[in-house]
């Protein structure tokens, strides 16, 4: 069996996190190395590696993941000024944790193109 990722350990509670939201489908916590005044990660409780493997998730779980991202951003008060959502995949995307997660970034003006 492959080794657990750090996000699975956070989900099972064996390592601590700064939780901001949880429901039966998603878990959200503050990024340990924030890149914006608000930087929260949202993970679905159903595991897949990244967007590249999301076909393995059932459609309901995908929908609940997207709705969870929206709920967390709203709860964080980001709707009015806006925010960015990032899902990294693979080497070029600089994914470092192989458990799908959405970054919610807010609280400052973003720029484009991203680095």
Binding site for ligand AMP (CB under 6 A): 6, 17, 29, 31-33, 41, 88, 94-97
Measured from the CB of residue 43, what is the shortest distance to ligand AMP in angstroms? Answer: 10
**Residue among 32 and 60 whose Cβ is closer to ligand AMP:** 32
Q: How far apart are CA 5 and CA 9, in angstroms?
A: 7
Q: Where does 1-115 show beta strands of DSSP type E? A: 19-22, 26-30, 38-44, 83-86, 102-106
**Residue among 96 and 111 whose Cβ is closer to ligand AMP:** 96
Measured from the CB of residue 54, what is the shortest distance to ligand AMP in angstroms? Answer: 15
Annotated catalytic residues are: 101
């Amino acid at each position: 069996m492959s080794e657990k990722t750090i996000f699975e350990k956070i989900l099972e509670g064996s390592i601590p996190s700064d939780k901001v939201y949880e429901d039966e489908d998603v878990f959200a916590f503050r990024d340990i190395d924030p890149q914006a005044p608000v930087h929260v990660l949202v993970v679905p409780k159903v595991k897949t590696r990244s967007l590249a493997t999301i076909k393995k998730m059932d459609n309901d779980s995908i929908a609940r993941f997207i709705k969870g991202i929206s709920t967390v951003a709203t709860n964080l008060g980001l709707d009015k000024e806006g925010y960015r959502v990032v899902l990294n995949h693979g080497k070029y995307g600089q994914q470092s944790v192989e458990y799908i997660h959405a970054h919610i970034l807010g609280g400052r003006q973003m720029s484009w193109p991203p680095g």
